[in-house]
Structure 1
Amino acid sequence: MPASTPAKLGVFASVAISAARLPAAGKWQAARQTDYSQLFGANCAQSGLAGCDSRFATKIRGMVDQVAGLSDREMLDRVNRTVNGAMTYKSDAAVWGVGDYWATPAEMARKGAGDCEDFAIAKYWALRSLGVPDEKLQLVLLQDTRRQLFHAVLIAHTGSGAYVLDNVSNRLEADTAYAQYQPIMSFTGERSYIHGFAGNSRAVADMPKDLSAVAPGMGL
């Protein structure tokens, strides 16, 4: 998954526009300011990170040893399935007692549970530990129009398309397979983007007016 070709960030048939000071940007940067790829490495215990002996970290380390020689798509599929199977989905209210909390991978490892953005962040760091470039990974906050709630997924950009790593499915699909997903904002590295739609699209009218109210896992 080479870093040379810029990723096309207008996923789910949207247009991505660079934006500053988005409400969730601070949470995203906090999730990536510490190198949590060490959590999935053989030297985790020496890294000083908590959760190295957790079931979650142990499962991910086992997966890391199995991806050598796999294609990009096969590797993404393995990461998606492994993280989905290593964690239990629970709302932030159930785990942390608040409506929206972005846990670090170390916190997730200790709890063994998290909600959709926690799964996405765990997959981000699992892929970073496998050498996937930062600029090829995109965290997307979106509206799931089928389930009528806010949701978060990780997008991995490859030479054959943008693939969705989603906690609600072990099946790896390209972003074009998700007509029910309407992206609101996304983050790649230190950059933030707001998403819109070309033309007179109904999806534009349906977008939330208050971006600070976008809490993954909560109802629209």
Structure 2
Amino acid sequence: MKRQYGQQGVVRLERLDKLMNELVGKEEGVKLLKVNEFFNDPTIIKWADDMQVWGKVDYWANRFESLGKGLGDCEDFVIAKYFTLLDLGVDENKLFFTYVYANLNGKWIAHMVLAYYENQDSIPFILDSNTNNIRRANNRPDLKPVLAFNAKDLFLAQQASTGKISAKSSKYTKEWAKYLEKLKKGDL
């Protein structure tokens, strides 16, 4: 981390390590809240466009890259939260990357959030880089879900609770597939 990103990257990584040690054995709700707050802290990761950070239109940074740079966009926040929660023992079947349209200042924009399902039939809680408040999706009228997926399957948002797998693809699932392939090879 120090060689590639400097001492500030090391400091952010050490802060994550400290948080994760503090969260061992805590209830899932506490883990969700603290991980969401941690990565939403602009001293950890500040929002920035991929072109500005990586020189690419769309780049899905891993958690260490985001911590190293201290910068990321909505997908990078979701990736960091997702893998941190997995490392803390949250079941991957409860966590879904969710592509939404978000209403920001009266304008609907493409956005990604992390959805947490207590169980298959529950309305998910939303972890969003735009707020530290974690609320159920039905209490987020500012978000319109489009599709949700995790490391195993792609689901249309409307079909997620029925468990029907969709063959539909998108640039987001292609990026996720590329990301997982890099992860398997140990490139991350």
User: Is TM > 0.5 for Structure 1 vs Structure 2?
Assistant: yes
Aligned equivalents of 2:63, 2:172: Cα separation in 1: 24
Aligned equivalents of 1:161, 1:142: Cα separation in 2: 15
Q: Which residue of 2 aligns with 1:84?
A: 40
Residue 66 of structure 1 pairs with residue 22 of structure 2:
yes
Unmatched tracts of structure 1, length 5 or more = 1-43, 45-49, 198-209, 215-220
Q: Which residue of 2 aligns with 1:144?
A: 102
Unmatched tracts of structure 2, length 5 or more = 160-168, 174-188
Q: Which residue of 2 aligns with 1:111?
A: 69
TM-score computed with the length of structure 1 as normaliser: 0.62
Q: Which residue of 2 aligns with 1:4?
A: none
Q: CA deviation at 1:113?
A: 0.7
Q: CA deviation at 1:183?
A: 1.4
Q: Match for 1:193 among 129, 133, 155?
A: 155
Cα deviation, 1:166-211, whole Å, max 9, x if unaligned, reads: 11001111111111211112212220122349xxxxxxxxxxxx95
CA contact (8 A) 1:72 1:158 kept: no
> Between the two proteins, what is the percent identity of the paired residues?
27
Compared with structure 1, are the counterparts of its residues 190 and 171 closer, same or farther at alpha carbon in structure 2 (3 Å cutoff)?
Answer: same
Higher relative contact order (CA 8 A, sep 6+): 1
Q: Which residue of 2 aligns with 1:98?
A: 56
Task: Give the counterpart letter for 2:29 in structure 1.
Answer: R
TM-score computed with the length of structure 2 as normaliser: 0.72
State the 4+ residue runs in structure 1 displaced beyond 6 angstroms: none
Q: Which residue of 1 aligns with 2:181?
A: none
CA contact (8 A) 1:87 1:114 kept: yes
Aligned equivalents of 2:157, 2:38: Cα separation in 1: 29
RMSD: 2.8
